[in-house]
């Protein structure tokens, strides 16, 4: 099984090619946001690699949000083009779940999640707001995806009962606000295309494909355009 993976939900832009449970090819940049200028070349490089190595994709998976409105739109548009062009199915991957997959294999949790522990991925939504949810060790949703304004009482009841691990670019700014002893922060975590691999394979095997023509990202909040800066 070969799956092309595309992730553009935040500043990083990445593409990977998965064969079964191995990442055979990847292109990544964290210098963004510059998705519009680099994503097309990343995907072209991946397709050329696939052709040369007899690994043409059986599906294309794309980060489905929440996250950056512009980044998600660019990623999904590219994924749709690949799906139509190669006549392969499209798989949308929830961004917060992909973030959890990244942390599952990081050194701080290499011995496994403590019993009853929970994952709390956070994507920065400006100021003290984040896109977040809670997941257990099996990635079952304990608390649904929401846009939350973070204060010192955030998840207080849950923290009284569980060890909770916070991570993602939204968590870094919350470390000085959430002070409960059961709150643990894993810094410098960003989601990449390779982190979507296990979720994409699971959905492929289950036949959970999205309608390529009508699929839209999970923006969570309406896009608000800012006024352009004056030139003079």
Alpha helices of 176-225 — where are they, by DSSP H? 197-206
Instruction: Write the pLDDT tens digit of every residue in 96-150.
Output: 999 999 998 777 776 677 889 999 999 999 889 999 999 999 999 999 999 999 9
Q: What CATH superfamily classification does 2-94+191-206 receive?
A: ATPase, nucleotide binding domain (3.30.420.40)
CB atoms < 10 A from the CB of 21, how many? 9
| Assigned token pair, 202 | 């699971």
Residues of the chain with CATH 3.30.420.40: 2-94+191-206
Task: Please tell me which residue, 229 or 129, carries the higher pLDDT value.
Answer: 129
Instruction: Write the pLDDT tens digit of every residue in 57-74.
Output: 999 999 999 999 999 999
Cα–Cα dist 157/215, whole Å: 36
Answer for the pair 193, 6: CB distance below 8 angstroms, yes or no.
yes
Instruction: Say what the pLDDT of residue 110 is.
Output: 65
Cα–Cα dist 230/232, whole Å: 6
């Amino acid at each position: 099984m070969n799956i092309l993976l595309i992730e553009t939900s935040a500043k990083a832009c990445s593409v990977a090619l998965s064969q079964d449970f191995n990442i055979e090819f990847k292109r990544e940049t964290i210098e963004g946001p510059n998705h519009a200028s680099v994503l097309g070349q990343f995907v072209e490089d991946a397709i050329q690699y696939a052709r040369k190595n007899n690994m043409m994709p059986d599906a294309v998976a794309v980060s489905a949000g929440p996250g950056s409105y512009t980044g998600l739109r660019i990623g999904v548009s590219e994924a749709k083009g690949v799906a139509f062009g190669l006549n392969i199915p499209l798989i949308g991957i929830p961004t917060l779940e992909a973030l959890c997959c990244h942390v599952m294999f990081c050194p701080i949790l290499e011995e496994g999640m403590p019993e009853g522990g929970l994952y709390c991925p956070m994507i920065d939504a400006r100021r003290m707001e984040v896109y977040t949810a809670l997941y257990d060790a099996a990635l079952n949703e304990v608390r649904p995806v929401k846009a939350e304004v973070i204060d010192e009482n955030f998840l207080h009841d849950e923290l009284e009962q569980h060890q909770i691990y916070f991570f993602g670019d939204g968590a870094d700014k919350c470390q000085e606000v959430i002070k409960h002893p059961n709150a643990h922060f894993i810094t410098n975590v960003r989601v990449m295309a390779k982190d979507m691999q296990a979720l994409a394979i699971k959905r492929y095997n289950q036949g959970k494909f999205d309608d390529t023509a009508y699929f839209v990202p999970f923006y969570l909040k309406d896009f608000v355009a800012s006024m352009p800066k004056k030139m003079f």
